[in-house]
Amino acid sequence: MNEVAYAKTPDGTQVAYQVLESERRGGAGNDIVMISGGLFPMEVFEDDPGCVRLLDGLRSIGKVVVFDRRGLGVSDPIIDWERPILDQWADDVCAVVSASGVREPTVFAWDGYGIATRFAANHPDQLRNLVLHHPFMVPEEVWDDWIAIRRAHFRQNIDGSADQFLMQIAPSRATDASFQEWYARAGRVGASPTTASRIWESVLNSRPDAQLLEHVRTPTLVLLRRENAYVPAEAARLAAEHIVGAEVVELEGADHFPFLGEVDEVLAEVAEFVMGERRVPPPERIIAALMFTDLVASTERVASVGDSNWRSVLDRHDRTVRSAVENCGGIVVKTTGDGVLALLRSAGSAVRAAERVRESLATDGLAVRIGIHVGDVDWRGADISGVAVHIAARTMAIASTGKIVVTASVVTSVVGESVAFESLGDHELKGVGGSWELFQVANVEKDTS
């Protein structure tokens, strides 16, 4: 965690902030002040790969300033509960911009409720650009219903029953145990349940102000994701219509926050708006074990059980695989229709996860084939890519029903562990050059004496 400094607002509130130095030479003039959404404190950013990716990408543009609004993290608590919290938070932005030494920065906001637009409307000389990720405007006639739904979501979130809420705001990672754990910790560190409840009550009592948006004269980029269920695209478009000259870019995806889903798409648009060129940081390269699973004869099963029953089969498969992978210290990266791609820390853990998947599904009368490979992968936020992914997929394609097939990299990596392999000889893997010796995990009779 970088050194924490404090900015002082006119009412004496101490607001904690950090300055993350730019990774780009000559980045002067491209400084960014980030206004985070929800009640996330800056302390937790470095513990989520999506947040790390987002901040690394912003640092490839210029210096980045992050901060805890009053009431959150290591900033002072909220004292005045009569004045709208959003107005007080806009004061916090002003204090941080002044204290951090940035000059005419780009303000990148994903709070959605209008902190950044309040700051831009009231202090147009203190920023150069404004980037809003999913702002919103709700017509007067539907406001009460809209807010009632969100109050219910926030109550669930504060009470610790956030599963449904996560499916709204973070569908790509809502069932990821590591993300669930991170999200829960972020809430604990961010604000107490009592403070969080009072904050959200104040925020939800502040209706989006069309006149405020119309007073924004700063060059503005509005980013929205078309499938966002929490803030529908039309609500973001409506907000953009009230900002003079706002440029609107629509992205694919359903996640509400910019550090989820396709983070690099967000970064590329921000970079182009700020610098005039699309720029993203290089992917993080790691060595990992990759496991692909595939339900066998799924087309025939769909025809025999019907679409609705087949969805239940797939859900059972996904739950089984996810449980096995997470119990072995890995993560499910994505589903592939009738299977999944998972990443594990070692070849041994991948083989153990594969055996658990095979055995668990067999008890449900489901047959699966699995491929495993160890190699370099490029890690981008919550997604991975690279030749190793293709090798693992092609290895799985060689496997017959109920079998686990691995490359030589797996066999070499698990030397000394109690697992046996049978050579399948050399194979050509479609789209991958060279000849590859493949192995099958041997069926070893378990001693039941």
Is residue 445 very low, low, confident or very high in pLDDT (cuts 50, 70, 90)? low
Interatomic CA distance for residues 307 and 301, integer angstroms: 9
- Residue identified by tokens 């041994």 is 348
Taking CA atoms, 34 is separated from 55, 275, 360, 417, 439, in Å, by 9, 17, 45, 48, 50
- Please state which architecture CATH assigns to domain 5-275: 3-Layer(aba) Sandwich (3.40)
pLDDT, average across residues 40-47: 93
For the segment 114-165, what is each residue's pLDDT rounded down to a tens digit? 999 999 999 999 999 999 999 999 888 888 888 888 888 777 766 666 667 8
pLDDT, average across residues 433-443: 89
* 41 contact partners, CB below 8 Å, separation of at least 6: 68, 72, 73, 74, 186, 189, 190
Interatomic CA distance for residues 413 and 97, integer angstroms: 51
- Please state which architecture CATH assigns to domain 284-441: 2-Layer Sandwich (3.30)
The conformational region for residue 392 under phi > 0 = left, psi -120 to 50 = alpha, else beta, is alpha
Interatomic CA distance for residues 187 and 74, integer angstroms: 13
Interatomic CA distance for residues 75 and 88, integer angstroms: 13
For the segment 395-405, what is each residue's pLDDT rounded down to a tens digit? 999 999 999 99
Give the chain's end-to-end CA distance (angstroms, integer).
54
Which of 48-57, 112-121, 148-157, 412-421 holds the top average pLDDT? 112-121
Residue 261 corresponds to which tokens in the numbers above?
Answer: 């889903």
Interatomic CA distance for residues 63 and 32, integer angstroms: 6
pLDDT of amino acid 449: 40
Could you tell me which residue, 33 or 315, shows the higher pLDDT? 33
Beta bridge partners of 334: 341
For the segment 238-272, what is each residue's pLDDT rounded down to a tens digit? 999 999 999 999 999 999 999 998 898 999 999 99
Give the domain ranges of the chain: 5-275, 284-441
